[in-house]
């Protein structure tokens, strides 16, 4: 395999992201009920967390005390987590063959019965609040574990997020790390056309958060930002705005405001999996 000559941590991370992208397409090809476009914008975030040495995890004991907590609030948009968790040994890879099928446990929206998922994710706008409670609890137990939350930008329309954002800043929860998959598209339109999120960073800064931005599809950059973010303890909760593209890498999805509810034709997915489409 020629890849050996190219081996570097950066290249391995990028290769992993590319592999997860293909696996996500393959799962969606088999289970069209899954949300593809929103699962493609978050791939590099999850790859960096799990393969970039950011998130302490234990596939043999997914809820072990020594883990870092990951709350995936945009549950529907995390189908790319299935191949990651299977690859890491949270559950057998055969489960990937029965996503949304009878007898399986990998649904169209991930449930907390899946090893590696902490909470209920199907209903949007709850993750940040629960993560805030977890972060407070860890602080009160003098634990050094970190809490990561992944939300979409669309779900920030839910007001409960802002209750949690105020609370986290007031209590100086600097063990709380929020990553917004800022793909700028909700179900029916661009979020800026629905209710604008212009200057999300400024808004969170005004709420008392430390904010950084990153190209959410540059997995090496995402990892670097996450390393710095996790290490930063300066009495403020932290936000990483990952600038992403919904439907990343799939023609007819990327750049299409209705991509949330568009299923690419199987033939296109086959072409992409064979590397024939551009």
Q: Which of 138, 179, 185, 200 binds another protein (CB under 8 A)?
A: 138
Q: Which of 7, 89, 93, 112 binds another protein (CB under 8 A)?
A: 112
> Minimum distance between the CB of residue 120 and another protein, rounded to whole angstroms?
5
Instruction: By CB under 8 A, tell whether 133 contacts another protein.
Output: yes
With 0-12 / 13-18 / 19 or more C-beta atoms within 10 angstroms meaning exposed / middle / buried, residue 257 is middle
Instruction: By CB under 8 A, tell whether 123 contacts another protein.
Output: yes
Instruction: By CB under 8 A, tell whether 130 contacts another protein.
Output: yes
Q: Which of 1, 8, 60, 140 binds another protein (CB under 8 A)?
A: 140
Helical segments of the chain, H only: 9-30, 37-40, 43-51, 81-88, 127-140, 160-170, 191-194, 200-206, 219-231, 266-273
Instruction: By CB under 8 A, tell whether 135 contacts another protein.
Output: yes
Contact 164, 173 (CB under 8 A): no
Q: Which of 137, 188, 258, 265 binds another protein (CB under 8 A)?
A: 137
Q: Which of 24, 42, 119, 175 binds another protein (CB under 8 A)?
A: 119
SS3 79: coil
Residues 6+ apart with CB under 8 A from 1: none
Name the residue nearer to another protein (CB basis): 4 or 65. Answer: 65
Instruction: By CB under 8 A, tell whether 113 contacts another protein.
Output: yes
Indicate the helix (H) or strand (E) that contains 242.
strand 238-243
Applying CB under 8 A, which part among 10-18, 88-96, 131-139, 204-212 lies near another protein?
Answer: 131-139
State how far the Cα of 33 lies from the Cα of 19, in Å rounded to an integer.
Answer: 21
Name the residue nearer to another protein (CB basis): 47 or 114. Answer: 114
Instruction: By CB under 8 A, tell whether 264 contacts another protein.
Output: no
Q: ∠ CA 74-52-68 to the nearest 5 degrees?
A: 60
State how far the Cα of 13 lies from the Cα of 40, in Å rounded to an integer.
Answer: 16
Instruction: By CB under 8 A, tell whether 159 contacts another protein.
Output: yes
Q: Which of 93, 141, 206, 228 binds another protein (CB under 8 A)?
A: 141
Burial 209-227 (b: 16+ CB within 10 A, else e): bbbeebebbbbbbbbebbe
Contact 42, 78 (CB under 8 A): yes
Instruction: By CB under 8 A, tell whether 9 contacts another protein.
Output: no
Instruction: By CB under 8 A, tell whether 134 contacts another protein.
Output: yes
Name the residue nearer to another protein (CB basis): 143 or 221. Answer: 143
Question: Which residues contact another protein (rule: CB under 8 A)?
Answer: 112-113, 118-120, 122-123, 126, 128-138, 140-141, 159-160, 163-164, 166-167, 171
């Amino acid at each position: 395999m020629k890849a050996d000559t190219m081996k570097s941590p950066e290249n391995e991370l990028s290769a992993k992201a590319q592999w997860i992208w293909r696996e996500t397409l393959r799962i969606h090809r088999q289970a069209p009920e899954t949300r593809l476009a929103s699962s493609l914008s978050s791939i590099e975030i999850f790859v960096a967390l799990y393969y970039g040495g950011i998130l302490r995890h234990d596939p043999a004991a997914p809820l072990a005390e020594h883990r870092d907590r990951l709350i995936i609030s945009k549950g529907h948009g995390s189908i790319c987590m299935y191949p990651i968790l299977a690859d890491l040994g949270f559950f057998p890879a055969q489960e990937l063959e029965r996503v949304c099928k009878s007898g399986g446990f990998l649904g169209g929206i991930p449930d907390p019965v899946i090893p590696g998922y902490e909470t209920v994710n199907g209903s949007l706008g709850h993750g940040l609040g629960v993560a805030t409670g977890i972060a407070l609890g860890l602080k009160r137990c003098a634990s050094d574990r970190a809490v990561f939350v992944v939300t979409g930008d669309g779900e920030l329309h839910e007001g409960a997020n802002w209750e949690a954002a105020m609370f986290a800043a007031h209590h100086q929860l600097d063990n709380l790390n929020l990553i917004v998959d800022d793909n700028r598209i909700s179900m029916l339109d661009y979020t800026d056309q629905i209710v604008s999120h212009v200057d999300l960073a400024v808004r969170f800064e005004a709420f008392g958060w430390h904010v950084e931005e990153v190209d959410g599809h540059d997995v090496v950059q995402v990892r670097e930002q996450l390393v710095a973010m996790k290490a930063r303890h300066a009495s403020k909760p932290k936000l990483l705005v990952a600038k992403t593209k919904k439907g990343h890498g799939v023609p007819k999805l990327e750049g299409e405001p209705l991509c949330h509810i568009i299923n690419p034709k199987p033939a296109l997915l086959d072409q992409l999996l064979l590397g024939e489409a551009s």
